[in-house]
A and B are shown apart, each in its own frame.
Chain A
Amino acid sequence: MNMRINWVILCGIVLLIVENAIVPWVVPPEWSERLLPHLNLILTLFVAGYAGRHIGFLFGLGFGLLQDMLSYGYMIGPYGFGMGLIGYLAGLIAERKSFTLGFFAWVVIVLGVMLDSIVYSIYRLFRITDLQYDFIFYWQIAPTSLLQLMIALLMYVPVRRFLVKPSLSSGEDSPD
């Protein structure tokens, strides 16, 4: 593990608050049902990439459940399940191939679409939505994942600079 995990958790909480309080105002009204970025998904991918699959899994699970609880209208769990799974998957991918910028962009797109698809299928399973998948893909999933890619690229440099420990000190096990 070579991430400042306490700072990462703090950052996750801040991102969650930003997502619920500021993002709705930044998105223009006509697009407010289409652009629903999950900032913590992006952070989960970073965590899984730099701190390993187990930390990524726990991080995704925890913040997914937290988000479910905050938006609790019908049920708790879809995001907890989806983000936990995706944190683990991203960790597995990162063990095979390290996250360069270009590869990371693909990971954000593919796993972002996958999270929204998992959540959609859960809501479909419980008959809370009866929309078709191709409609919801065009209406919400595709624009959202493109926006998530942009946010991820914006976060790439700050996360590497402030949240990832420099690889030199990783061997020394500094108490930082």
Chain B
Amino acid sequence: MGGIFRLMRNKRLFILMIGLIVFIALMGFTMGRTRLTWPEKFLNDAFGTAQGALYRPVGAVADFFRDLGRLSDVYEENEQLRQTVAQYTQDQVKFNLLEADNKRLQTALHFTEQQMNMDNYRYLIAQVIGSTSNPYEKTITINLGSRDGIKPEMAVRTVDGLVGLVSKVKNFTSTVTLITSLDPNSSKGTPVSATFLGKPESFGIIEYDEETQSLQMTKIDEHDKPADGDQVITSGLGSLFPKGIIIGKVKNSQVGDFGLTYTAIIEPAAKYNHLREVFVVVVPEVEEP
């Protein structure tokens, strides 16, 4: 035992203490910061470009082998897609009529230009160029940056549904935090409000429970009892976040913490790993009054 104490002489212990203090200061300082300094941007952009050159080809090869394994499912999938397309064309007719109607009514009611364009989101296609090995900050990197008009807190989705939020923006790349990091019990993440597709008045907040690895919608009003299989979409309350992005389906539901609200367990529509292509949703600018 004496050897160990001699090993950790005073000088080493002192330097360790100083190091600990410096690092805690660094961590505290970098927490909750959105702007980056130029060395960080430069390093991230450089590594991002190099990663992109590897990530995409490797992903293509990996997907190819996975698709080979699923060749037998193609017929079934085809059948399903045909049904969906038939449904879709029918809905398209209805949608066109409704949209025309809506536009006519909006003009009749003298909506301003900004109010009319509120729901015209722009989608920027981004390639995923890397993900990280840090278990507590599951982020992915995309190849669009501030040069392409990306801003922090923008929603990121795949064809299937919501994936995450842009957290740090560099010049040519940006970092996306996945919605699996929206933990209510810890000091991180921006809350995302959600609603049921069939009940536009309903309201809930999306959270992720790390212990059970499941997505939850909490604080649902007792009048809007969730039914299994209900589609959950973003509600866009709070206006910064786009509305109508699919989050998932209700798997089951239970009475919430104080018996006054409901909590629904959601089966996510999008998957969060092995991503190759995502869309960044750009909400039309709100002019400052």
* B residues less than 8 Å from A21 (CB atoms): 51-52, 54-55, 58, 129-130
CA distance A20 to B51 in the complex (A): 7
Q: How far apart sit A23 and B58, CA to CA, in the bound complex (Å)? A: 10
In Å, the complex CA distance between A31 and B132 comes to 14
CB contacts between A and B, total, < 8 Å: 145
Whether the pair B44, A127 counts as a contact (CB closer than 8 A) is no
In angstroms, Cα B204 to Cα A46, docked, is: 51
Q: Are A130's CB and B186's CB within 8 A? A: yes
Q: Measured between alpha carbons, how far is A76 from B137 in the docked complex, in Å?
A: 11
Residues of B within 8 Å of A32, CB to CB, are 273-274
Stretch in B113-121, B175-183, B227-235, B243-251 touching the partner: B175-183
- Give chain A's interface residue range (CB within 8 Å of chain B): 35 or more
CB-CB < 8 A to A128: which residues of B?
136-137, 186-188
- Chain B residues with CB under 8 A of A38: 133
Across the interface, name the chain A residue whose C-beta is closest to B33.
A75
**Which B residue sits closest to A73, measured CB to CB?**
B137
B186 neighbours in A (Cβ, 8 Å): 127-130
Docked-complex contact A71 and B19, CB < 8 angstroms: no
Digit string of B208-220 for contact with A (CB within 8 Å is 1, else 0)?
A: 0011010000000
- B44-82 vs A: 1/0 string, CB under 8 Å? 100100111011001100100000000000000000000
Give min CB distance, A88 to chain B, whole Å. Answer: 9
CA–CA, A123 and B59, complex, Å: 31
| A71 contact from B23, B54, B139, B210, Cβ within 8 A | B139
Q: Which of A4-12, A79-87, A149-157 contacts B (4 or more CB under 8 A)?
A: A79-87
Residues of chain A from 80 to 108 with CB closer than 8 A to chain B in the complex: 80-81, 84-85, 92
The answer to whether B30 has its CB under 8 Å from any CB of chain A is: yes
Binary contact track A19-41/B, C-beta < 8 Å → 1, others 0? 11111111001001100111000
* Chain B: minimal CB distance from A121 (Å): 11
A127 touching B7 by the CB < 8 A rule?
no
Give the chain A neighbours of B138 by CB distance below 8 A: 33, 73
Q: Are A92 and B129 in contact (CB under 8 A)?
A: no
Interface set of A (CB-CB < 8 Å, partner B)? 16-26, 29, 32-33, 36-38, 66-67, 69-81, 84-85, 92, 116, 119-120, 122-123, 126-131, 135-136, 140
Apart from A73-B181, A92-B7, A131-B210, what 20 extra A-B contacts exist at CB < 8 Å?
A20-B130, A20-B132, A21-B52, A21-B54, A22-B54, A22-B55, A24-B131, A25-B59, A33-B135, A70-B43, A70-B132, A72-B36, A72-B40, A73-B134, A77-B27, A80-B26, A128-B187, A129-B186, A130-B186, A131-B211
Q: What 10 A-B pairs are tightest by C-beta distance, nearest first?
A: A71-B132, A73-B137, A21-B55, A21-B54, A36-B133, A32-B273, A20-B130, A77-B27, A21-B51, A76-B30
